[in-house]
Amino acid sequence: MEKIGDYIKRFRKARGLSQIELGEKLGVTQQVITNWERNLREPNIDTLLKIAGIFEITLEQLVGKKSGEVEEQTSRALQKRFELIKKLPPEKQKAFVTFVDALKV
C-alpha cells in the first residue's frame, strides 16, 4: 500500500520539480523532502495543503484517494443515515426534518 511520501514523490516528478525546488517552495530542506518521500516522516496538515496547492491537486488526491472515492464514501454514510431516519416514528421524522430545515444557509 502506498503512503503519503510515495504520492508526494510521484506528483513532484510529474511536475518536473527536483527535491530542492519543492523544498524551496515550501521553505524546507532537500533532506526533509527526502525523509517524506522515503516515508520516514510525514508533513503536517498545513504543509500537505501547501504541497497540494503547489501540485494543483486536492488534498484527497495527494493522500491517494481516487477521484470520486471521497464523495462515494460520503454518499454511503448519508444513505445509511437515511435508512435509520426511515425507521423513526413519523413524529420524530418530522422533528428531524424541521431541524435540518433550520440549518439551511
- CA–CA gap between residue 95 and residue 65 (Å, rounded): 36
Residue 32 has a pLDDT of 98
- Using the predicted structure, report yes or no on whether residue 96 has a pLDDT greater than 80: yes
pTM over 0.85? The answer is: no
Taking residues 78-101, report their average pLDDT: 86
Nearest to 22 by CA among 44, 45, 47: 47
pLDDT in tens, 60-78: 889 887 655 545 655 676 7
Per-residue cell: 34: 527526502
- Could you give the percent of the chain with pLDDT greater than 70? 88
Domains and CATH numbers, the chain: 4-62 (1.10.260.40), 69-102 (no CATH)
Q: What is the full DSSP assignment across 8-51? A: HHHHHHHTT--HHHHHHHHT--HHHHHHHHTTSS---HHHHHHH
Q: What percent of the chain has pLDDT over 90?
A: 51
CA dihedral sign, ordered 23, 29, 32, 37: positive
